[in-house]
Amino acid sequence: MSTESPRILLETIEPHILLLTISRPKALNALDETTLNQLSETLDQIAANIDKSNEARVLLVTGAGEKAFVAGADIRAMQTMSAEQASTFAALGQAIFRKLEQLPIPTIALVNGFALGGGCELALACDFILASDNARLGQPEVGLGITAGFGGTQRLPRRVGPAMAMELLVSGRTIKAAEAKEIGLANHVYPQAELINEGIKLAQQISKQSPNAVRLTKQLVHQGQDRDLDTACQLERQAFGLCFANPEQQEGMGAFVENRAAEF
């Protein structure tokens, strides 16, 4: 029987706030097939619990230790793959990161240290990124003779624009947290010791809002960004109307009129 510790840790750290930790610190939290499969199972668990209740409203994602969020996919494990095996491995990572991206609740990557290759792609699959001041982000795959494989060539241009993404992708350049914020890859940068607490503060603010409205807002942003403006605005109009069939609208507007805090 294996006595290996779980590589994915999930805990409720505040009411309505989950923390998912990639925990393989001796390997800088590198993503091999075992780690990816455990991540997939954990995301399935989160999604199932969300469907049952409004208890989980925000997911924070981070890596164990002070050196890395996720240093990348496990290069030693990939080194001897055939072309077919590599394609299958990419499909696995893409499917799992898509699960993360499609969770109905907001997801926040807390990037502490290295987030390279698959690690940067994992962060990009979250709705936004908070980085520690020692963070290093990038897609250095071209230096290994490969392309990004877990969605980096597609999500990075959507996040920072095609020209900047192309520069990072074809140069393999690693950037510091300050530059990541400057180009729109990271939302905020904090001292490493404060990163988790700042992430919790933001998650608390989100968790106080209407869960229905937050989920619809996330859905609209994801669905609308690749559609023409008229179609996207039509989606927004429909969602806006649906809000008025939900009791959270009555509570939210009632609380505003009565000058009290809404309770969702």
Cite the active site residues: 121, 141
Q: Is 193 exposed, middle or buried (0-12, 13-18, 19+ CB in 10 A)?
A: exposed
Taking the C-alpha atoms of residue 203 and residue 193, their distance in angstroms, rounded to an integer, is: 17
Residue 108's H or E segment, with its range, is: strand 107-111
3-state secondary structure of 62: strand
Residue 151 tokens read as 């969605």
Of 15, 141, 130, 161, give the one whose Cα is nearest residue 71: 141
| DSSP annotation of 49 | H
How far apart are the two ends of the chain, measured CA to CA in Å?
A: 45
